[in-house]
Amino acid sequence: MDPLKVCLVNDSFPPIIDGVANAVVNYGRCLTAHHGAATVVTPYYPDADDSAFPFPVVRYPSVDLTKLVGYRAGMPFDFDVLHRLETEQFDVIHSHCPITSTLLARALRERIHAPVVFTYHTKFDVDIANAVRGKLLRDSAARMLVQNIAACDEVWVVSSGAGENLRKLGYEGAYSVMPNGVDLPRGRVDDALIEDTCGAFDLPAGVPVFLYVGRMMWYKGIRITLNALKKLSDGGADFRMVFVGGGLEKDEIVAYARSLGLDGKVLFSDPVYDRQRLRAWYCRADLFLFPSTFDTNGLVVREAAACSLASVLVAGSCAAEDVSDGVNGFLIEENADSMAAMLRRLIAAPERMAQVGDGAQRDLYLSWEEAVGRAYRRYGEVIEKYKSGGFPAHDTLTDGMLRGMAAVMDVLERSRQSWQAGLQQMYNDGQSKFDAFVKNAGHDLL
């Protein structure tokens, strides 16, 4: 298949670090390295440095809502940005967020007539419930979000559970499961790097080390973990639990751990952005604790698997898809008693943790190169279907609004350009007359 030019659009991108931002970075990296070229389009951040990426990053205007929702909110209908993107001749537009990113993707589709692919990464019913008060407003927000997704040409989900969640929101169209990959290679890092990364923490030899990596938010199941560890500690078990990450609720989580009397056994690290040092943490740990039912894919579970680290997961959760209990992971019920019982058994059988960790690497690992390779092949099919008229026409109310906004923006921009051209012509005419006056005045003086 020929190389493709892909426009990747997402609301979060470094310096914001989350699972979806990580996915977009790796899509851009793999597409540029192996399948053509990618351009990332994302909101402006004042401290962003995009120079290290092997692909161009286009920033559009944003407003600061980090204290409210943790992100800056993009303002996607910027003429200069859309005009710049219009000249790039993209083959496909791929949005990774169903809000402003998809609005921008749809507006760009109106200009360049390329298909829009959308990937559903996150359980937005939880986000809507947290952000919007009142059932009527929540239902309206969900309906608008689903309409935005349905207006895309093809919809992907990162897991079967993500697809079920999308159905729960009210989406009735077709979708394909396209899992995300991992940018960590298989295998361990050197012991020297493990010591350099983890040596400052009190991690005695022979004492099991449990690990969590990710945003420090209660909805990640962290309360279940802490309550389970309290039960272990009260029973006399020795262990260390390391939380690696940051987030809006980290201070509350640290305070809760202290209130349980877990000082010394539960340790906290700042976020680790160096991928090799993050691998060192995965390699130092004996077990990864991730009782989250919020995550739709659980990239951290695959990252742990890359380092032969088995995970403890809630049975039936999206993160537990493809996991068989005792084969390539450990499954529990969604409560602290179930986790505590599992950890007691595994503390007494450390060789079991290592054995199942090897199974996780064997069965769960998926590289980003393979994941994006699948996406690239599907892009080709989507493009051909779009060109042949295989997708339905987009004549929803919001599509009409987008076309109207695009037309108004074009008129305003043409008016601005005409006005500037008129001013320039007036300046040129005045300059010519002034030059002629100076020349004639000089001639008269002579």
How confident is the model over 238-252, as pLDDT tens digits?
999 999 999 889 999
Residues 163 and 277 placed together within one structural domain of the fold = no
Instruction: Identify whether 439 is part of a domain.
Output: no
Residues 254 and 167 placed together within one structural domain of the fold = no
Q: Which pLDDT score, from 0 to 100, does residue 445 have?
A: 47
Residues 15 and 164 placed together within one structural domain of the fold = yes
CA nearest neighbour of 180 among 378, 365, 434 = 365
pLDDT at 111 over 50: yes
Cα distance between residue 351 and residue 286, in whole Å: 10
Instruction: Identify whether 285 is part of a domain.
Output: yes
Residue 191 — left, alpha, or beta (φ > 0 → left; ψ -120 to 50 → alpha)?
alpha
The backbone torsions φ and ψ at residue 402, rounded to the nearest 5 degrees and listed phi first, read: -65, -40
pLDDT at 410 over 60: no
Q: What percent of the chain has pLDDT over 90?
A: 72
Residues 199 and 68 placed together within one structural domain of the fold = no
The average confidence (pLDDT) of the chain is 88
The backbone torsions φ and ψ at residue 86, rounded to the nearest 5 degrees and listed phi first, read: -60, -30
pLDDT at 435 over 80: no
Residues 203 and 221 placed together within one structural domain of the fold = yes
Of the candidates 322, 349, 365, which is a domain's last residue? 365
Residues 373 and 358 placed together within one structural domain of the fold = no
Residues 222 and 297 placed together within one structural domain of the fold = yes
pLDDT at 289 over 80: yes
Of the candidates 365, 386, 419, which is a domain's last residue? 365
pLDDT at 192 over 90: yes
Q: Which pLDDT score, from 0 to 100, does residue 65 have?
A: 77
Residues 119 and 88 placed together within one structural domain of the fold = yes
Tell me if 184 sits within 8 A of 213, measured CB to CB: no
Cα distance between residue 295 and residue 317, in whole Å: 8
Q: Which pLDDT score, from 0 to 100, does residue 139 have?
A: 75
Q: Which pLDDT score, from 0 to 100, does residue 188 have?
A: 94
Residues 216 and 101 placed together within one structural domain of the fold = no
Instruction: Identify whether 30 is part of a domain.
Output: yes
Instruction: Identify whether 400 is part of a domain.
Output: no
Structure confidence at residue 298 as a pLDDT band (50, 70, 90): confident
Structure confidence at residue 113 as a pLDDT band (50, 70, 90): very high
Q: What percent of the chain has pLDDT over 70?
A: 85
Give tens-digit pLDDT for 2-17. 999 999 999 989 988 7
The residue that leads in pLDDT, 139 or 11, is: 11
Instruction: Identify whether 86 is part of a domain.
Output: yes
Residue 350 belongs to what domain range?
A: 191-365
Q: Which pLDDT score, from 0 to 100, does residue 75 have?
A: 87
Instruction: Identify residue 214 by its one-letter amino acid code.
Output: G
Please state which of the ranges 168-172, 335-339, 396-400 shows the lowest mean pLDDT: 396-400
The residue that leads in pLDDT, 407 or 352, is: 352
pTM: 0.79
Q: Which pLDDT score, from 0 to 100, does residue 402 have?
A: 54
Sign for the pseudo-dihedral over CA of 348, 330, 24, 294: negative
For 300, other C-beta atoms within 10 Å of its C-beta total 27
> For the stretch 270-292, what's the b/e string if a residue is b when 16 or more beta carbons lie within 10 angstroms of its beta carbon?
eebeeeebbbbbbbbbbbbbbbb
Q: What total of structural domains would you count in the chain?
A: 2
Instruction: Identify whether 142 is part of a domain.
Output: yes
The residue that leads in pLDDT, 128 or 419, is: 128
Residues 293 and 239 placed together within one structural domain of the fold = yes
Q: Which pLDDT score, from 0 to 100, does residue 78 have?
A: 87
Structure confidence at residue 125 as a pLDDT band (50, 70, 90): low
Cα distance between residue 275 and residue 293, in whole Å: 25
Average pLDDT over residues 177-195: 95
Residues 174 and 297 placed together within one structural domain of the fold = no
Q: Which pLDDT score, from 0 to 100, does residue 141 have?
A: 77
CATH number at residue 293: 3.40.50.2000
pLDDT at 129 over 80: no
* Alpha carbon distances (Å) from 199 to 191, 203, 205, 264, 375: 11, 8, 11, 15, 40
pLDDT at 427 over 70: no
Residues 78 and 220 placed together within one structural domain of the fold = no
Q: Which pLDDT score, from 0 to 100, does residue 315 have?
A: 97
Instruction: Identify whether 251 is part of a domain.
Output: yes
The residue that leads in pLDDT, 33 or 397, is: 33
Give tens-digit pLDDT for 51-103. 999 999 999 999 887 676 666 788 888 889 999 999 999 999 999 999 889 99
Q: Which pLDDT score, from 0 to 100, does residue 413 have?
A: 43
Structure confidence at residue 411 as a pLDDT band (50, 70, 90): very low
Instruction: Identify whether 186 is part of a domain.
Output: no
pLDDT at 400 over 90: no
